[in-house]
A and B are shown apart, each in its own frame.
Chain A
Amino acid sequence: MIKHHHVAPTKPKRVVILGATGFVARDLARHLASLGIETLAVGSARVNLLEPESAAKLKDLVGPEDALVITSALTPEKGKDVRTFMKNLSMLQHVCALFEQANCAHVVYLSSDAVYDDAMALVRETTPRTGLGLYGLMHAVREEMLRFAVSKSQTPLCIVRPCAIYGAGDPHNSYGPNRFMRTACKDRKITLFGNGEERRDHIYIRDVSRLLAMCLERLTEGAVNAATGEAVSFYDLAQRIIRLCPHKVELECLPRATPITHRHFDVTLRLKEFPAFQCTKLESGLAETFSELIRVR
């Protein structure tokens, strides 16, 4: 269930973002600045959450009127093993330690849709969070760690679970829009597994930032998925990207290693709770991303 503590959007006094160099944190900081919201982006160079001392450092940085946005995580590219899993939990353990000695006005945790199991049904906020592998399980455990940590102080905790995020600033190279665009430009080729039948929901980074900002301004408590509600196949996605390219792009199909699974979202809760929020159409989001990538190159 979602609860908005502010009926009308109210700018938070200051937003402290952990994971400053990450894809979402950078875009969120940009968006919050455009809204005139004071932001402090904290990266691992300043506070390394893997170190136990980070809790004390956070205590010095985060004030009682601040909203704290936690985006820090070691993503699957950094490792999918138990060690990475435990490191991610350690990072959150140190964040949670902050709440033993101090408090803040609002906590927003950037989780992932990987917390949900791989069932055939539509994914919604109430879908069981058994986790897709260790990465999904890690986010599910972190959510519970935070829930426990803030329960005593009753600090409102908002959990945002995005589906696959795309956008020009994405440093990751996971299977999907960003990789497809890069290889389409660089190698003039997009590689699909099988025939790219799997359908997935892809959300534009700008939309994730806007939704996070809405959660901050409404002092939202509860969990919400950041998804568009429109899933497309990887084949369809590749074709859309090919249409954006000024040159010919080859579509290569490799044998698939895993069975076909689809993931569709029921976004009714988001529609009800954030009625003013509209997702960028995939076509437009891809075109913007592509233009930015070309510009950067």
Chain B
Amino acid sequence: MIGFVGLSHLGIVYSLATAAKGLEVLGFDHASGLCDQLNRGEFPIAEPGLDELYQSHKARIRFSGDAAELGRCDLIFVSLDVPTDTANRSDLEPLERLMDTVAGRIAPGATVVILCQVPPGFTRSLKTALLARGVEWAGRLFYQVETLIFGNAIERALRPERFIIGCADPKATLPGAYAEWLKAFGCPLLPMRYESAELAKIAINLFLVSTVSTTNALSEVCERIGADWSEVAPALRLDRRIGPHAYLAPGLGIAGGNLERDLVTVRNLAAEHGAEAGIVEAWLLDSRYRRDWALRKVQEGVLSQQDDAILAIWGLAYKPNTHSTKNSPALGLIEALPHVAKVAHDPLVRLDPAAYPRLQLVNSALDACRGADALLVMTPWAEFAKIAPARIKDYMKGRELIDPFGGLDQAACIAAGFAYHRLGARSM
């Protein structure tokens, strides 16, 4: 029996992926209401293919709020989502509390694998801390790097690129249950010391940030000089040093919480240990600047011309296929314009409009456009691209269309008479 402790987005997806590999799974969470909900096949997260995966493998998975049941598991993954504060610093206290609860209930020889976002040094200190608190557990502890991508989590969980495994001793043979689980996924294994694995996860994220930041800086240059980033990016993808899967789509800064957390972690580690990490500061600065791209555009094109403008906002999530709004550019925009009337629609996100002055939420994208002076497509949900720009025009009063991600058909928008703005190209 494989246990999953902490039924976060990662925990839910990974427990289902494990069941899909033919293994028996027990999911545990203190929130027994959540467990009941999951046992009914009702998920608090959105992922393409999630329902189908559950329906196909539900016979092998069960969720429980009773920690004592973990005693039946010989392999336990800890998948609690480590929260961050407003400064993007991790709060490890909930994880430490969970470990205290769990460690006293598991079988003495069970293997525990931490999947959570922890800073370098955490895993090695964890077992020592547990033993110091009198927890009797003789099993082995590992840290496994997980790079969950909201909206693509199922695919990545079922077919991972590799497993990076943090070990107390990388040369020691892996315990049977863990080795068997890893084998079920058939991908390369990279055992290394705890600290290397913990840093590897952060390194992956920082390399993504560097690509995204470079893309963003160059896309702004494109906007100023009349180049078009969508023409430049394919050339880069064919360069072997950059590659076909590089993050070359310009965006509105770093959002979602995890990349920001890692940037802050590295900045603080460098400061503490005397390493030069000025580049991390530059990435953070760039991210804050890019986040307000739409605000600058709407100020320039609309709000500088009229005081009583109505803005239509499509999308509130920080990216499509998720309900997460952590550091969402859409919310940043809404908060920056408390005095402006805004009508927003998101297919998944439900906000309390009372928390945002002059914000109205509506149930359809076109309803949001009724009488609007400008439309801002802040999250490029696929369903928005299906709406013909000519129809959008019929609903709107104004002709400003701010589509940072280029989710709509640019030619059709221009043909419909819109002033069209997107990242990486001069406004048209």
Cβ proximity bits B314-347 to A, threshold 8 Å, 1 near / 0 not: 0000000000000000000000111110000000
Contact, CB under 8 Å: B304 / A278: yes
Chain B residues near A126: list those with CB within 8 A.
285
Chain A residues near B338: list those with CB within 8 A.
275
A278 to B339, CA, bound (A): 14
Contact, CB under 8 Å: B337 / A122: no
A122 to B224, CA, bound (A): 14
Cβ proximity bits A263-291 to B, threshold 8 Å, 1 near / 0 not: 00011100110011010000000000000
Partner of A275 from the list B285, B289, B296, B337 (CB cut-off 8 Å) is B337
Chain A residues near B366: list those with CB within 8 A.
none
Contact, CB under 8 Å: A275 / B292: no
Whether B7 is near chain A, meaning CB under 8 Å from some CB there, is no
**Which residues in window 66-123 of A have CB below 8 A to B?**
122
Cβ proximity bits B85-116 to A, threshold 8 Å, 1 near / 0 not: 00000000000000000000000000000000
Contact, CB under 8 Å: B339 / A268: no
Contact, CB under 8 Å: A272 / B336: yes
Nearest chain B CB to A101 CB, angstrom units:
39
A278 to B300, CA, bound (A): 9
Contact, CB under 8 Å: B304 / A268: no
A275 to B337, CA, bound (A): 7
Contact, CB under 8 Å: A122 / B340: no
Chain A residues near B339: list those with CB within 8 A.
275-276
Interface size class of A (residues with CB under 8 A): 10 to 19
Nearest chain B CB to A143 CB, angstrom units:
21
Contact, CB under 8 Å: B295 / A272: yes
Interface size class of B (residues with CB under 8 A): 10 to 19
Contact, CB under 8 Å: A275 / B336: yes
A275 to B304, CA, bound (A): 9
Chain B residues near A272: list those with CB within 8 A.
292, 295, 336
Contact, CB under 8 Å: A271 / B296: yes
Chain A residues near B337: list those with CB within 8 A.
275
> Chain B: which residue is nearest A229 at the CB level?
B296
**Which residues in window 251-266 of A have CB below 8 A to B?**
266
Nearest chain B CB to A8 CB, angstrom units:
11
Cβ proximity bits B278-305 to A, threshold 8 Å, 1 near / 0 not: 0000000100010010011001000110
Nearest chain A CB to B299 CB, angstrom units:
5
A268 to B337, CA, bound (A): 12
Chain B residues near A275: list those with CB within 8 A.
299, 303, 336-340
Nearest chain B CB to A2 CB, angstrom units:
12
Chain B residues near A278: list those with CB within 8 A.
303-304
Chain A residues near B292: list those with CB within 8 A.
268, 271-272
Partner of B289 from the list A229, A268, A271, A276 (CB cut-off 8 Å) is A268
Nearest chain A CB to B290 CB, angstrom units:
10
Contact, CB under 8 Å: B289 / A266: yes
Q: Which 6 residue pairs across A and B have the least CB separation, nearest first?
A: A268-B292, A272-B336, A278-B304, A271-B299, A275-B339, A266-B289
Binding site for A on B (CB under 8 A): 285, 289, 292, 295-296, 299, 303-304, 307, 336-340
Task: Supply 27 A–B pairs (Cβ within 8 Å), ascending by A.
Answer: A122-B289, A126-B285, A229-B296, A266-B289, A267-B296, A268-B289, A268-B292, A268-B295, A268-B296, A271-B292, A271-B295, A271-B296, A271-B299, A272-B292, A272-B295, A272-B336, A275-B299, A275-B303, A275-B336, A275-B337, A275-B338, A275-B339, A275-B340, A276-B307, A276-B339, A278-B303, A278-B304
